[in-house]
């Protein structure tokens, strides 16, 4: 039990609120929609915003987005997004696992996938907004 908590703490501390803010702003700019809640994890966990993002990058790539229903139906959105992202050109190693998003087990991996999707969109000549994030490098004296 203590190991499980230690792993969760390590994942939590890897989260980068600035990366999450940049990812959120990019998704909102591309989709033209605000997140349904200020809670980043909660807004992404059902895959609806991710599917909408994918459809803006490549129209029709997610043919049906489940916006309501039982958790199983909503969880299907994650798989639809994952398939569409890989088909769009995101490397499979950069696509998160469903539990990372739906069960909120590793939201940092979801954020990294969004960054990878942005890079892929630029390679695919997407003319819309770009994800704007400057990596803060450590300063050494």
Residue 38 pLDDT exceeds 60: yes
Please, what is the average pLDDT of the chain? Answer: 88
- Does this model's pTM top 0.75? My answer is yes
> Residue 8 falls within a domain, yes or no?
no
Q: Which value, to the nearest 10 degrees, does the dihedral of the CA atoms of residues 46, 49, 58, 77 take? A: 10
What is the structure's pLDDT at 6? 47
CATH number at residue 104: 1.10.418.10
Element (H, E) at 9: helix 2-14
> Residue 129 falls within a domain, yes or no?
no
> Residue 112 falls within a domain, yes or no?
yes
> Residue 48 falls within a domain, yes or no?
yes
What is the structure's pLDDT at 26? 97
What is the structure's pLDDT at 87? 98
- C-alpha distances (whole Å) from 140 to each of 14, 16, 97, 137 are 21, 21, 36, 9
Report the candidate in 79, 24, 33 with the shortest Cα–Cα distance to residue 56.
Answer: 33
Domain of residue 40, residue span: 32-122
> Residue 54 falls within a domain, yes or no?
yes
Residue 10 pLDDT exceeds 50: no
> Residue 108 falls within a domain, yes or no?
yes
- Give the number of domains in the chain: 1
What is the structure's pLDDT at 92? 96
**Rounded distance between C-alpha atoms, residue 50 and residue 26, angstroms:** 11
Q: Other C-beta atoms within 10 Å of 86: how many? A: 14
> Residue 114 falls within a domain, yes or no?
yes
> Residue 1 falls within a domain, yes or no?
no
């Amino acid at each position: 039990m203590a190991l499980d908590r230690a792993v969760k703490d390590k994942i939590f501390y890897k989260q980068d609120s600035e990366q999450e803010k940049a990812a959120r702003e990019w998704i909102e700019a591309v989709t033209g929609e605000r997140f349904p809640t200020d809670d980043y994890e909660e807004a992404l966990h059902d895959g609806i915003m991710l599917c909408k993002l994918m459809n803006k990058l490549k129209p029709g790539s997610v043919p049906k987005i489940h916006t309501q229903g039982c958790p199983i139906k909503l969880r299907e959105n994650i798989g639809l997004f994952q398939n569409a992202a890989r088909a769009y050109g995101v490397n499979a190693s950069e696509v998160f696992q469903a539990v990372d998003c739906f069960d909120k087990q590793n939201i940092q991996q979801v954020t990294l996938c969004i960054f990878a999707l942005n890079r892929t969109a630029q390679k695919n000549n997407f003319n819309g907004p770009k994800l704007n994030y400057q990596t803060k490098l450590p300063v050494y004296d």
